[in-house]
Amino acid sequence: MSQDIIELPSIYHEVYDRLRQRIASGNILPGEKISIRSIADTFGVSTMPVREALRKLQAEGFVTFHRRSVIVNRLSAEEVKQIFQIRLRLELLAAEWALDKVTGRDLQDLNAILQAMEQDISVKEWRKQNRLFHIRFYECAQSPHLIELITNVWDKVEPYMTIYTSTVEDFAEAHKQHAEILKTIQDRNLPQLLQTITYHLEYTSHIVSQALTGKPEFWGDRDH
């Protein structure tokens, strides 16, 4: 791990933010052992703020302290399914609140994100834009508390999106689903929007769960 020295006064918060981002993005993988000393050396800080940051991450369910090590939590296939269901409930609420408040500028931003995702970009950049597309729409709900909850759930499942992006042959189906979401937003069609988002998240959950279990599962067509 290359040096990335922190020079800000709020060392603990910065260490926490960086560690959480690295875990959520999959740069530190589920099941991986974290060396407190190594992290401290990388950030150029003492071990105390690293330990405090990891304790907070443990309280949030990201890591577990063992007798002589700290391990990034690895979710089972069933736990991943549950988190996707939590994410679905929250995002349906956000979509319902957001739809009436969407402006022309919001639609332009969402369309620009989709166009960026259709370019020849890296998988890492695609995942970044994918998250941005969803969050940008939900921000229209104008509820910071709801966005915070959605972000927390995204961070739990985001490491497993690596499985999704490495399993699908291309992002053609994802592009199709995102385009359908945007169209239903433009049409202000709430019932169709909720159905489209539900299919989108259940499809993604299915791909990830199947990869985690190694067992093929039936995936039926949409019931439109």
At a CB cut-off of 8 Å and minimum separation 6, what does 219 contact? 203, 206
pLDDT for position 4: 66
Distances (CA, A) of 19 to 86, 99, 129: 24, 34, 21
pLDDT for position 201: 95
The band of 139, judged by pLDDT with boundaries at 50, 70 and 90, is very high
Question: Stretch 128-134: mean pLDDT, rounded?
Answer: 94
Please give the structure tokens belonging to residue 188: 């202000």
pLDDT for position 84: 93
The band of 123, judged by pLDDT with boundaries at 50, 70 and 90, is confident
Q: Are strands 70-72 and 63-65 parallel, antiparallel or unpaired?
A: antiparallel
Among 204, 219, 208, which Cα is nearest to 77's?
208
CB-based contact 176:185 (threshold 8 Å): no
Extents of the domains making up the chain: 11-72, 77-213
pLDDT in tens, 53-65: 999 999 988 899 9
Neighbours of 70 (CB within 10 A): 20
At residue 137, does pLDDT exceed 90? yes
> If you ran DSSP here, which 8-state letter would residue 63 be given?
E
Assigned fold of 11-72: Arc Repressor Mutant, subunit A (1.10.10)
> If you ran DSSP here, which 8-state letter would residue 68 be given?
S
The percentage of residues in the chain with a pLDDT greater than 90, rounded to a whole number, is 56
The band of 29, judged by pLDDT with boundaries at 50, 70 and 90, is confident
pLDDT for position 196: 97
Question: DSSP letters of 165-217?
Answer: HHHSS-SHHHHHHHHHHHHHHHTT-HHHHHHHHHHHHHHHHHHHHHHHHT---
What distance in Å separates the CA atoms of residue 57 and residue 18, rounded to the nearest whole number? 11
Of 1.20.120.530, 3.40.50.2000, 2.60.40.10, 2.40.100.20, the CATH number of 77-213 is: 1.20.120.530
Among 24, 9, 3, 217, which Cα is nearest to 124's?
24
Between 11 and 179, name the one with better pLDDT. Answer: 179
pLDDT in tens, 75-122: 888 888 999 999 999 999 999 999 999 999 999 999 999 999 999 888
pLDDT for position 150: 97
At a CB cut-off of 8 Å and minimum separation 6, what does 195 contact? 222, 224
Among 18, 35, 105, 100, which Cα is nearest to 71's?
35
